[in-house]
């Protein structure tokens, strides 16, 4: 039986839950604030290329803002006050440098990424709306990277200290945070693989067993990829999980719905882990690309798990926005 694309009421009207309603309001709030910052600093930019880049980013923001305002109107969600149509003032202030403006804009983009990421992983009722947030997140990551790469050309970025190794084997070095994210990702993947292997010994539903085996295959592929990078850059390897697990838990005590919930929580936490790696990997472009691909794959798994859980009746039902309490 196919899973519905979004939750509908008995009257066939598309619905959202209370968290999704907040996500729409909060998305508009943070974007309105960001747009006002953009409009203000546009008057102070000196570099023409930087001004054109800001124009492009602002144009994209306005386009997606209109789409989200339509979502708010559709679901009858009160919206924050909009910023002025434009902010203009004559002259320029030489003391306000383009580097300073970049840092303010960049900080806003990071805050927006965390807001959008949270909207993706907390929108579980309306599948269509979650897709809207997901596409917005991926677009925002591309804009984030575009702005950051421009700053590297201008030498505006602040680079953390380099990770020191005894015998460097590659020309390209890692920052301290990049080395940590490699180690942290591999540690988390080892934990998740061990959890999947443990639960596979207790699963009752054959469909769920297939899903877990698929998840295990993805984890093994990512572990291999991460291990190669860890070895390449000389980062200390975390301890690996045992090759085999001896089942000491009575399978009757573990329900499939509980195991689903535990794994789903791990996926939600992993999305935040990957997003932080994308944002904080600021020197090694190839490594950031790898973390982006892992993030995309995790979001795909997240979406699949939600729809699978709905089909099985295992997902937690969030209160619907706008429904009377009685």
Identify the CATH class of 176-312: mainly alpha
**How is domain 18-154 classified at the architecture level of CATH?**
Up-down Bundle (1.20)
The tally of CA atoms less than 13 A away on the side-chain side of residue 292 is 18
* pLDDT computed for residue 246 by the predictor: 63
Tokens of 120: 């993706």
State the Cα–Cα distance between residues 255 and 204, nearest whole angstrom. 8
* pLDDT computed for residue 160 by the predictor: 86
Q: Identify the CA nearest to 121 among candidates 259, 266, 257, 271.
A: 271
DSSP assignment of 11-40 equals T--B--BHHHHHHHHHHHHHHHHHHHHHHH
* pLDDT computed for residue 86 by the predictor: 75
- DSSP tag of 283: S
Per the listing, tokens 């929108």 go with 123
Per-residue pLDDT of the chain (326 residues; tens, 9 = 90+): 334 444 455 456 899 999 999 999 999 999 999 999 988 898 899 999 999 999 999 999 899 999 999 999 999 999 998 887 777 766 566 778 999 999 999 999 999 999 999 999 999 999 999 999 999 999 999 999 999 999 999 999 888 899 987 555 666 789 999 999 999 999 999 999 999 988 988 899 999 999 999 999 999 999 999 999 999 998 999 988 777 666 656 667 789 999 999 999 999 999 999 999 999 998 899 999 999 999 999 999 999 999 999 999 999 999 999 855 44
Measured from the Cβ of residue 71, the count of other Cβ atoms closer than 10 Å reads: 21
3-state secondary structure of 10: coil
Contact 307, 3 (CB under 8 A): yes
Tokens of 101: 């403006």
Residues 6+ positions from 118 with CB-CB distance below 8 Å: 23, 272
* pLDDT computed for residue 250 by the predictor: 62
3-state secondary structure 46-73: CCHHHHHHHHHHHHHHHHHHHHHHHHHH
3-state secondary structure of 123: coil
Contact 199, 254 (CB under 8 A): yes
What ranges make up the beta strands (E) of the chain?
none
Q: Where exactly are the structural domains of the chain?
A: 18-154, 176-312
Tokens of 75: 């679901």
Domains 18-154 and 176-312 in one fold: yes
Burial 186-196 (b: 16+ CB within 10 A, else e): bebbbebbebb
* pLDDT computed for residue 253 by the predictor: 73
**pTM of the predicted model, to two decimals?**
0.88
Contact 183, 289 (CB under 8 A): no
């Amino acid at each position: 039986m196919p899973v519905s694309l979004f939750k509908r009421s008995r009257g066939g009207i598309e619905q959202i839950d209370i968290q999704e309603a907040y996500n729409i309001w909060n998305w508009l709030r943070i974007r309105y604030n960001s747009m006002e910052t953009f409009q203000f600093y546009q008057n102070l930019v000196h570099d023409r290329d930087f001004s054109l880049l800001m124009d492009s980013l602002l144009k994209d923001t306005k386009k997606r803002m209109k789409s989200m305002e339509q979502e708010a109107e559709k679901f009858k969600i009160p919206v924050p006050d909009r910023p002025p149509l434009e902010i203009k003032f004559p002259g320029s202030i030489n003391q306000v440098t383009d580097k300073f403006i970049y840092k303010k804009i960049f900080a806003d983009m990071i805050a927006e990424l965390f807001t959008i990421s949270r909207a993706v992983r907390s929108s579980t009722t309306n599948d269509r709306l979650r897709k809207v947030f997901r596409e917005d997140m991926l677009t925002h990551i591309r804009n984030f990277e575009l702005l950051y790469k421009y700053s590297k050309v201008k030498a505006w970025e602040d680079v953390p200290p380099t990770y020191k190794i005894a015998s460097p084997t590659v020309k390209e070095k890692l920052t301290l945070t990049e080395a940590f994210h490699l180690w942290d990702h591999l540690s988390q993947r080892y934990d998740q693989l061990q959890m999947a292997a443990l639960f596979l010994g207790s699963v009752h539903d054959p469909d769920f067993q297939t899903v877990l085996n698929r998840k295990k295959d993805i984890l093994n592929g990512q572990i291999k990829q991460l291990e190669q990078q860890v070895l390449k850059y000389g980062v200390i390897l975390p301890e690996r999980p045992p090759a085999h697990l001896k089942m000491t838990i009575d399978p009757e005590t573990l329900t499939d719905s509980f195991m689903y919930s535990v794994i789903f929580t791990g996926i939600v936490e992993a999305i935040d882990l990957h997003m932080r790696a994308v944002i904080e990997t600021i020197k090694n472009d190839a490594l950031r690309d790898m973390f982006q691909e892992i993030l995309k794959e995790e979001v795909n798994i997240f979406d699949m798990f939600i729809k699978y859980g709905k089909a099985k009746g295992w997902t937690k039902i969030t209160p619907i926005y706008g429904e009377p309490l009685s």
